[in-house]
Amino acid sequence: MFIDEVDIFVKGGDGGAGCVSFRREKFVPRGGPDGGDGGDGGSVYLAADPDLSTLLDFHYRRHYTAERGQHGKGANKHGRSGGDTVLRVPLGTVVFDRDTREPLGDLTLPAQRLQVAQGARGGRGNARFASSTNRAPRRADLGRAGDERWIHLELKLLADVGVIGFPNVGKSTLVSRVSAARPKIADYPFTTLVPTLGIVRVDEQSFVIADVPGLIAGAALGKGLGHRFLKHIERTRILIHLIDLDPSNGREPVEDYRTIHEELGSYSGELARRPQVVAANKADLTGTEERCRRLERFCAGQGLPFHAVSAATGLGLPALMRDVGHRLARGLPEKASTP
């Protein structure tokens, strides 16, 4: 099961209580106070783990508390501090306070840690309160309560390239052709229900490509399945916009481009300005020549890179991947214009 959003409750460990105690030994009159301090409570941390790809574990368990500090004891024995609780999350996890929506952190580097609930200080024992005027204090502090809150975890995949387009245009087939990823492929819409990552190697360069569920008109408003996964292409540096040339789908390729581009803009203006490379799929089919030429002329007018490909046969895919790789290597690929 792919889980990319979840709310969890985190609480830092309570501090241990300080101790009220007096030294009582034979031949040691008025030994004085010797109550130890309570230990500090542990904290709750999130740690980015590159081996994880989903927030599934948090779907089944929602409450996490760090260990509390032990109470102080006599003979100036301080309580042991509580251990920290470290929760592993996938790379690309964004953390918010659930109630205020305040961003708390973005875990994008392996082993990066983020404290989400701090443990409390332990209380002072009565030995801490001894003075020249109060040599037998009977006061000690209770340990404080650890921080607690509900946090919202949201996973945004880390990929260099995102493949977007209508459902059933061949996105999964393309990703399976150019990488070792094996997404589910079938001849019906919304075959892809979860994002899939693959690694593409071109010459001596490699980059990560993401296949996300197909978009439809109104996706940014919640229609179809793609609206749930638009966030997974927010971190991409370049988009491959895959368009189906097959006349039997009943759609016009240029209008397909405009529709998806408008959905990107409705979701995020910045995402609509993300550099795009247009790939016209199923160019090997008979009867697609004129549709391919119209789309190519449109892309030329908009300054969009264009490739005619066939995800099924591999036609044009090496050139497409080399072009994308070169644009990534340059660091500032050509930006898509708004039609």
- CATH, residue 56: 2.70.210.12
Residue 336 belongs to some domain of the structure = no
How confident is the model at residue 188, as a pLDDT? 41
Q: How far is CA 109 from CA 4, 57, 105, 114, 338, in A?
A: 18, 20, 12, 11, 33
Check which CATH number belongs to the domain holding 199 and give it: 3.40.50.300
Same domain membership, residue 252 and residue 290: yes
Same domain membership, residue 180 and residue 116: no
Same domain membership, residue 69 and residue 190: no
Residue 337 belongs to some domain of the structure = no
User: At CA 150, angle to CA 147 and CA 154, rounded to 5?
Assistant: 130
Q: For residues 302 and 252, give the distance between their C-alpha atoms in angstroms, rounded to a whole number.
A: 17
Same domain membership, residue 269 and residue 133: no
Same domain membership, residue 291 and residue 177: yes
Is the distance from CB of 146 to CB of 118 less than 8 angstroms? Answer: yes
One-character DSSP codes across 32-50: -B-PPPPPPPP-EEEEEET
pLDDT tens digits, residue range 263-307?
888 888 888 899 999 999 999 998 999 999 999 999 999 999 999
Q: In the listed set 155, 171, 192, which residue is the last one of a domain according to the structure? A: 155
Same domain membership, residue 243 and residue 180: yes
Residue 65 belongs to some domain of the structure = yes
Same domain membership, residue 72 and residue 14: yes
Q: In the listed set 155, 188, 215, which residue is the last one of a domain according to the structure? A: 155
Residue 241 belongs to some domain of the structure = yes
Q: For residues 185 and 170, give the distance between their C-alpha atoms in angstroms, rounded to a whole number.
A: 8
Is the distance from CB of 123 to CB of 140 less than 8 angstroms? Answer: yes
pLDDT tens digits, residue range 114-132?
999 999 999 999 999 999 8
Q: Is 306 exposed, middle or buried (0-12, 13-18, 19+ CB in 10 A)?
A: buried
Same domain membership, residue 180 and residue 149: no
Does the model's pTM come out above 0.95?
A: no
Residue 41 domain boundaries: 5-155
Same domain membership, residue 113 and residue 77: yes
82 Cβ contact list (under 8 Å, min separation 6) = 13, 39, 40, 41, 42, 66, 67, 68, 69, 70, 119
Residue 262 belongs to some domain of the structure = yes
Q: How far is CA 199 from CA 180, 209, 296, in A?
A: 7, 6, 28
How confident is the model at residue 184, as a pLDDT? 47
How confident is the model at residue 217, as a pLDDT? 53
SS3 238: strand
Same domain membership, residue 117 and residue 252: no
Q: Left (φ > 0), alpha (ψ -120 to 50) or beta: where does 331 sit?
A: left
Q: In the listed set 155, 176, 203, which residue is the last one of a domain according to the structure? A: 155
Same domain membership, residue 322 and residue 233: yes
Please check the confidence at residue 216 and state whether its pLDDT lies above 90: no
Residue 212 belongs to some domain of the structure = yes
Please check the confidence at residue 10 and state whether its pLDDT lies above 50: yes
Average pLDDT over every residue of 94-123: 96
- Number of compact structural domains in the chain: 2
Same domain membership, residue 222 and residue 101: no
Average pLDDT, the chain: 87
Please check the confidence at residue 230 and state whether its pLDDT lies above 60: yes
Dihedral sign of CA atoms 208, 212, 215, 219 in order: negative
